[in-house]
Structure 1
């Protein structure tokens, strides 16, 4: 009997082990499916962000290190964002992060419509429809232009347009450099001629004036090349961002309708009784102040009635 029970227990153990293994396999499979789903969603989100970045990115923004050409790169874009203020801060932070700087920003609200709705005798609902916009101009290192543009693209809710330009100024810079060299050579020869031959004042003055003009031309060429180098090294990005029209409603006091602030009829009656009583008190007080005159008048009346009236009647 004991042997039979042992055989049954061993069979139950053999049966329970596969059940536990199957449950663990199902749990592991469900967990892997969940992780795969989360990974796939994250991958899709990254793909969408990459697509948005590619919309405003361009090969014109990529610097070819092996090329000897010099490009002045500029970018112009107009797009809608969810919140202009927050996007402005994000763009400014990205500009600073990648070694650039902001040269112009004009954040403002333009009111498109404003009207009042009378809610009660003393209250008005003021409704304002307005649009927030910002014009931003930033300059970033030309090697970081594509990175900055892709970072800015994360703020785009709807793209109106984007224009990226790369103007080759290599020949212009070379022309300025050659002209600067020629001017410098002429300047040196002119200085040497003045030192050797210009002994008289009437000969020195025109030569000196010509020398100053030549130095000015040389300086202008140098400044032009410096300005071009600055434009080559730092690209300019001009942005116009805006958000959907916003409606703001605010309850304000109706100052025009003062009748709403008149007191209730009961309060007016009580105030009238108080006012009448105050007037009566004033009259009584005024009469009391004249008591001496009243007393003299009363005494005169008694004297008149007792003495003067009798004498008058006897005389008649």
Structure 2
């Protein structure tokens, strides 16, 4: 039972408004007022799904839509949709227009000039919010911009029973608060009061969200151009510039002479650093040559002993 109660409480926090006196809590009539205020505007052509203009007595609907289509010019369509949403009392929450580059090549046209050719496709992902009672009107305006409709999804979620259940939960929270106030002041009472107030605050936040979603519909729009566009951009012939400065003989020869001079200096300094080794090698060589000379003198004397 405790688990069921927790699940019901979470569901309530997501779908309802708080029902409590002295704190401006909403009742079912509040939700009805939020969606019926602009009901006079609902007058849309038959080309729009009935879900967009859903209006049933004693029923409350949260309406959303998702449109994916191809248009002649993404930029012009974006400006038109944003303007239409504003005229209908709505606003754009996100607009991500970008050009996706398919290929990019550079063609040299002279020694100094070249042409950069880009093949790209423009697309935009938008999110628009506007009065739910005028969802059909906006979808009709968007439909007029299409070349090809890939998909259109319209949702009308009935939350009437959730609102009724929210009222009962609001009464329960109010009653719980009254019961807690009658208890003696203890640590447990403070903890229960804090938890009850936290649940109350969560429901007030949920109330604002649900009321807003009932009054304003959310439409996600993805538009793109069916064919690739080509951009020709004049640039400098970088390859010719690279060849022009790739190698300079006189500059390289001068640097080679200077580097050679520094190399000789480094060799001399290196020889100076190893002078003890050179001295030892020199002495060894000297005594070796001296010993060789003595051997040559003794050999002729050994060959002529009689003389």
What's the TM-score, normalizing by structure 1? 0.60
Deviation at 1:180, TM superposition (A): 1.6
Deviation at 1:54, TM superposition (A): 5.4
Give, in whole Å, the separation in 2 of the partners of 1:130 and 1:67: 50
Distance 1:78 1:207, change over 3 A: same
Aligned length: 200
In 2, are the aligned partners of 1:63 and 1:142 still within 8 Å (CA)? Answer: no
Query: Which of the two has higher C-alpha Rg?
Result: 1
Deviation at 1:219, TM superposition (A): 2.1
After superposition, give the CA deviation of every residue in 1:172-201 in whole Å (9 maximum; x if it has no partner): 22222211210111111111223xxx3xxx
Deviation at 1:128, TM superposition (A): 0.1
Deviation at 1:259, TM superposition (A): 8.2
The one of 231, 235, 254 equivalent to 1:252 is 235
Q: Which has the higher contact order (CA 8 A, sep 6+)?
A: 2
Show structure 1 runs of 5+ residues with no match.
1-52, 199-203, 263-316
Q: Where in structure 2 are the equivalents of 1:1-316 lying within 5 Å?
A: 57-64=48-55, 67-194=57-184, 198=185, 204-243=186-225, 244-258=227-241
In 2, are the aligned partners of 1:114 and 1:126 still within 8 Å (CA)? Answer: yes
3-state SS, counterpart of residue 182 of structure 2: helix
Give, in whole Å, the separation in 2 of the partners of 1:260 and 1:99: 61
Deviation at 1:218, TM superposition (A): 2.1
- Give 1 or 2: higher helix fraction: 1
3-state SS, counterpart of residue 201 of structure 2: helix
Give, in whole Å, the separation in 2 of the partners of 1:215 and 1:256: 72
After superposition, give the CA deviation of every residue in 1:212-248 in whole Å (9 maximum; x if it has no partner): 1011112222322331121111110000011132111
What's the TM-score, normalizing by structure 2? 0.61
In 2, are the aligned partners of 1:177 and 1:225 still within 8 Å (CA)? Answer: no
Give, in whole Å, the separation in 1 of the partners of 2:95 and 2:175: 45
RMSD over aligned Cα atoms:
1.9
Give, in whole Å, the separation in 2 of the partners of 1:236 and 1:139: 5
Deviation at 1:80, TM superposition (A): 0.9
Give, in whole Å, the separation in 1 of the partners of 2:103 and 2:46: 37
Give, in whole Å, the separation in 2 of the partners of 1:246 and 1:121: 28
In 2, are the aligned partners of 1:79 and 1:157 still within 8 Å (CA)? Answer: yes
Show structure 2 runs of 5+ residues with no match.
1-44, 246-307
